[in-house]
Amino acid sequence: MSTLSEAQRRRTFAVIAHPDAGKSTLTEALALHAHIITEAGATHGKGNRKATVSDWMEMEKDRGISIASSALQFEYAPEGHADEPYVINLVDTPGHADFSEDTYRVLSAVDAAVMLIDAAKGLEPQTLKLFRVCKARGLPIVTVINKWDRIGREPLELVDEIVTEIGLQPTPLYWPVGEAGDFRGLAHVNDEGEADNYIHFTRTAGGSTIAPEEHFSPEDAAAREGDAWETAVEEAELLAMDGATHNQELFEQCETSPLIFASAMLNFGVHQILDTLCEIAPAPHGRESDPKAVESSTSAMDESRDLNDDFSGVVFKVQAGMDRNHRDTLAFMRVVSGEFDRGMQVTHAQSGRSFSTKYALTVFGRTRDTVETAFPGDIIGLVNAGSLAPGDTIYSGRKVQYPPMPQFAPEHFRTLRAQSLGKYKQFRKALEQLDAEGVVQILRNDLRGDAAPVMAAVGPMQFEVMQSRMELEYNVETVTEPIPYSVARRTDAESAAELGRQRGVEIFTRTDGEYIALFGDKWKLAFVEKENPHLTMEPLVAD
């Protein structure tokens, strides 16, 4: 098959939501329905229950939350597509607000998002934030109301909340039959807003295997389910009268969001989610180059890459320690254009250096398989690929460089040092690796020295991850101490000298060479800005 044909059968999406909405459970349920695993584990992995295959860090298993994003790839064939299965590239993301930066990086590497909403809680702060980011980035969203097997809110109330809070119109594709807590099945809703098919689910022991389905006509559904079916039909018709029916163009423009009700824990509605993504989610497409890189380049550079052009890819995550048996680093890369062949010689756009991609993997949780070929939309792991960092571009042929990944404004700051001076060499190595991954931002200055750098983070849980991984992966126990700053601003060399003389301000250099000024609080910042309007103090915000 051609590169274009291969790209057309790729579906690359992220699962995003507020903590505890069921992201990792859904990720595993999707893999179960694709027959990649034979039995699903449990979300929390506590006691005798299993941890989900996508949660691999010890902290994730202990706390039952996703801390790091995890990429899974598998084939899935909807009914009638056995000869031409789709290739699913699925990324499960952290839900906790402290790891928003990791989630944002993932969103730059996918073509669509599945937004999971708890049926009882509705839109929560992190859900709202991620919805807005997806919409701002033009990322089509499929909305899934999860946990419909538990007591929850009214379905029309949830739809109204989404419309009111974020201005995104949900368009039902699969509407629930039975109220929250009495999940009997799903009514398939066609593009005219008519419930034309009833899918009845049968529970399995613990929801660990695929739930059997029975399909009924509307007439048979009415006879079987009575008022529950009639209510579902009336609610679907009511939404259709209000214009809430699926329109592919509006979906791709992020004006509407196809809506599915499900229970990931019971495997109800899961294969309907997969079928929907295969049918309507966008296939991979080309990407524009970074305008700044094009302007500053002294050599010929592509301004964009189409799918059929030479190979190019974007690194969106760097991760070490995924498997103690493999002391290596994986750079997760999204293929943007062309065909990737293992062993091919590629160029790192940021440094101009060339390297061979001898070790390339597909990653399923901690399971690794060598990949020989990949196409646009695929996510692969490059092993020990030099100095690759999130946002870097690699390519073959004519140079291309894609826009950099955004970095968030840190709000929490702590010093970090090794508990034992004898571990200083390991400490430096661990610091260098985890800094490159973007676990935290590392700030240094001459006053504090290399032995006690400052960690800057969006949320305090990032510090816990940093310390935990240093101990488990590098055998370095560390000590952290708070410092009296809460606001960071980007500055320049000229302004840094004068800012450093201000009381309550400290100047650092970030690993990427940027000058960072830390202020005690927002009032101190406001005072310095008022007294020194000529100095550079720019917010550190995402693009």
Report long-range pairs for 490-495 (Cβ below 8 Å, ≥24 apart). 490/514, 490/515, 490/516, 490/517, 490/536, 490/537, 490/538, 490/539, 490/540, 491/515, 491/516, 491/517, 491/535, 491/536, 491/537, 491/538, 492/536, 494/536, 495/535, 495/536, 495/537
Q: How many CB atoms lie within 10 A of CB 2?
A: 11
What b-and-e string marks burial along 39-69, b requiring 16 or more CB atoms within 10 Å of the CB?
ebbbbbbeeeebbbbbbbbebbbebbbbbbb
Q: What is d(CA 194, CA 240) in angstroms, rounded to the nearest whole number? A: 8
Is 271 a known ligand-binding residue? no
DSSP-assigned beta bridge partners for residue 382? 331, 360
* Residue 282 annotated as lining a ligand binding site: no
516 and 540 Cβ atoms separated by less than 8 Å: yes
| Amino acid found at 286 | G
Q: Is 446 annotated as a binding residue?
A: no
Question: Residue 96 annotated as binding?
Answer: yes
536 is in an annotated binding site: no
**Exposure of 411 in the CB half-sphere (CA atoms within 13 A):** 12
**What is the residue-wise DSSP string for 226-270?**
THHHHHHHHHHHHHHHTT-S--HHHHHTTSEEEEEE-BTTTTBSH
Q: Is 395 helix (H, G, I), strand (E, B) or coil?
A: strand
Query: Which amino acids are annotated as binding site for GTP, given as ranges?
Result: 92-96
Annotated binding site: 92-96
